[in-house]
Amino acid sequence: MKATLKIRRGASWQSWEVPFEQGQTVLDGLRWIRVHRDPSLAIRFSCINANACKECMIQVDGETVYACTTRLAEGEMSLEPLPNKKLIKDLVTEIAPPDERLQ
Amino acid sequence: MLQADVLIVGSGAAGMYAALAAARAGAQALLVDRSLIGRGGATVMAQMTVAVAVGEEEPDHWQHHLADTLKAGRGLCDPALSQLLCEEGPACIREMDEWGIGWARRDGHLAQVHAPGHDRKRCVYVDFLNTGPAVSKTLRARVQRIAAIRRVGDLVVTDLALRDGVCVGAHAVHVSSGDTVPIAAKATILATGGLTRLYARNSASINMGGDGYALALRAGAELTDMEFVQFFPIGHLAPRLVGMDPIMWDPFRYKLGGRLLNSERKEFLAEDGRYVASRDVATYGILKEVAAGRGSPHGGAWLSFQHCGEAALREAFGPVIKRLAANGIDLTRQPIEVAPIAHYHMGGVRVDADMQTGVPQLFAAGEAVGGANGANRLSGNAITEAFTFGRRAGERAAALAAKTAMPSLKPRTWVSSNGRKSNPAAEIVSLQKLMNEHVGPLRTQSGLEHALEKIRALEPMCAELPAPRAGLDAEWMDLHDLRNMRLVAECVTRAALERTESRGAHQREDFPETNDAWQRHRTFRL
């Protein structure tokens, strides 16, 4: 099966076709892109699959979700950074509490 | 430029406990993490239990816990470190209780379960599958309240700062801006966890690539027992689960036993529906069944709770039943597949009982430390180790800082860019496959030699780091990780090659027996 991940990168969008098996997640797809297509793609995650760290929150098709628990689906999925947080790069936003930042 | 009396690198349980102890001893502490504070690392992933001789379920003494720990360690524990873990564990567990962690209780006392390798019911936990998240949350809330602890996330330490062989802080990069940040410190504690990310199948967070080992080694500290990587035997394999840690089956085996079956649906570990085989024995047993053609379809073993009945399953699994159903799993109707998964590292930075490394003013704590668990760790000892070692390191580092002047530090320089010809994210995946295949639970001379050659061939592309590009440079971060992972992988592989025997988590197919002459430690220093 194949999904197309259309990813917001600053002012523009970039799309990649991602192969997947039933049950795999959006985070699996993003990691696949970094390994096979473009290592410069910035995403934030820590625990990979356990939904324990809560770091991989993004918007998929306009809905705020965790990339690690959202399943890939055939067809196109639109991925964007959180709209109400300061953008750092690609899908990464500033989500640390203000008193835990460098500045 | 940042500065602190005590710099703590890593914000899992060991790092946060160290920060609390250092602040309590009067130090200004700086707690840094390469991602968010108190959310990454191994701690938040720990879904199971914490071993501690509080004796609430049945009479116990820390010396009984120590005896079990030493026995599990197959003759390679550092007794002083093991004793610290067992003796001071109860005080830390009670302190966590006062801070509101919510240990599970039964009839008014702490509930304790019997985990494999322990001689009695010794392991406390937080229901359901919530021990690690509860530990992280409790410590995070505590750390946030203490004014003497400054917390800075998204700060990755690239190298320790040295002057005349003394650790005077660290050189860091602010991940989201790419800025170079020197950190001057009177004492530094490495609490960066282990190395399980070196393996394709692991239960680790993304930041468990052995950073602390690489930092310590490059600073001149000694590493010990690097060949001992614990594989957790029943890591989830199939069907695909999301939103759950792959080690999640462990607490349910404590409660219900469960049956580990081969393709002929026969138990092969003589457990008879109980959960008693130690981790090294179970890992070896599963892989031998697979090798004999009796594995499950995806190359592991079946784990079945079908005989337990729906009522018992509902009581033991609580809300987890619903999460399993969302993944299409009904345990009353089907077994699931499990297989060994890299879970913990017994080896690490060599320290004394004050957590002091061989480099002045440099300490280590938690899984980053080697020696407390010898060749095989007992279930439940990792979080206890994080608490007790973190607390000890924080206290000792603060005491040292109180009589040390603040060092000055110059910003680091970078090598010129190597042009970045290959994709470091892809190289990391290749390294993980290589380690899993040849430096995993079953090892041979030819496999280890093959791995060592490949690992050494990676060195030119990641021996030194170029400066990151401005802004979040994800590719540079991978190169940083590859640099550390490669160095640490070489240590593990060389130690595994040299240890021509089998002991605990280190199993050599070509040397299956334990050899008394090898009851000694293999150490590394650059």
As a whole number of angstroms, the distance between CA B115 and CA B78 comes to 22
* Of the partner residues B152, B204, B241, the one whose CB lies closest to the CB of residue A100: B152
Tell me how close the Cα of A35 comes to any Cα of chain B, in angstroms: 5
Q: What is the CATH number of the domain that holds A46?
A: 3.10.20.30
The CATH class for the domain spanning B424-524 reads mainly alpha
Task: Report residue B248's pLDDT band, with 50, 70 and 90 as the boundaries.
Answer: confident
Higher pLDDT, B318 or B178: B178
Residues in Cβ contact with B460 at an 8 Å cutoff, skipping those fewer than 6 apart: none
Q: What is the pLDDT of residues B258-281, one digit of tens each?
A: 999 999 999 999 888 888 888 888
Model confidence at B411: pLDDT above 90 = no
Q: Chain B residue closest to A39 (CA)?
A: B475
Q: Per the residue annotation, which of B122, B279, B392, B503 is the catalytic one?
A: B279
Model confidence at B254: pLDDT above 90 = no
Determine which of A7, A53, A92, A95 to mutate to test the interface with B (most B C-beta atoms within 10 Å).
A53
* Of the partner residues B132, B204, B243, the one whose CB lies closest to the CB of residue A68: B243
A30 lies in which domain range? 2-100
CATH architecture of B234-339: Alpha-Beta Complex (3.90)
Q: Chain B residue closest to A45 (CA)?
A: B206
Q: Can you give the pTM of this predicted structure?
A: 0.95
Phi first, then psi: give them for residue B130, nearest 5 degrees.
Answer: -125, 10
As a whole number of angstroms, the distance between CA A54 and CA B493 comes to 34
B207 contacts A101? CB cut-off 8 A? no
Residue B240: burial class (beta carbons within 10 Å; 0-12, 13-18, 19+): middle
Q: Mark whether B377 is an active-site residue.
A: no
Interface of A with B (CB under 8 A): 21-25, 34-36, 39-55, 66, 68-69, 71, 88-90, 92, 94-96, 99-102
CA distances from B485 to B62, B143, B345, B361, B439 (A): 36, 30, 14, 25, 14
Structurally, chain A folds into a number of domains equal to: 1
Segments making up each domain of chain B, as ranges: 234-339, 424-524
For position B418, what pLDDT does the model report? 60
Q: Residue type at B112?
A: Q
* Of the partner residues A39, A48, A99, the one whose CB lies closest to the CB of residue B205: A48
Which helix (H) or strand (E) element contains residue B326? helix B320-326
Q: What is the pLDDT of residues B105-147, one digit of tens each?
A: 999 999 999 888 899 999 999 987 789 999 999 999 999 999 9
Model confidence at A53: pLDDT above 90 = no
